[in-house]
Amino acid sequence: QVQFVESGGGLVQPGGSLRLSCVASGGIANLYTMGWFRQAPGNQREWVATIANGGRTTNVVDSVKGRFTISRDNAKNTVYLQMNSLKPEDTAVYYCNTLPKQPYWGQGTQVTVSS
């Protein structure tokens, strides 16, 4: 069973940057495509970015294109989300998971963009 521990969130002003990390334990996460997801209050969880297991193929949702970059270090079982030019609408709890998704999610990391 793969487990996820997300970190790196916080309070940042509009235009600022954060780098999120997700450590995936369980030994097989490196075989999967990995994704970042987010859930804002009152909204459903949405997909933000994905990266293939080899790290060469990435995709991001249009709303973050040009601002967010996903990467991974398979030796560390870790996937990252570099977030630049943050906007208030990026405020959410951010989660990672494999694709296809594992049934259990981590606790996520809160990102708040506010002046």
Contacts of residue 66, Cβ cutoff 8 Å, sequence gap at least 6: none
Q: Please state the rounded mean pLDDT for residues 10-32.
A: 91
Average pLDDT, the chain: 94
Residue 52 φ/ψ region, left for φ over 0, alpha for ψ in the -120 to 50 degree band, beta for the rest:
beta
For 64-107, the pLDDT digits (tens) are 999 999 999 999 999 999 999 999 999 999 999 999 999 999 99
| CA 59 vs CA 45, 66, 69: distances in Å | 17, 11, 9
Asked whether 105 and 42 are in contact (CB, 8 A), the reply is: no
- Backbone φ and ψ for 44, nearest 5 degrees, come out as -80, 155
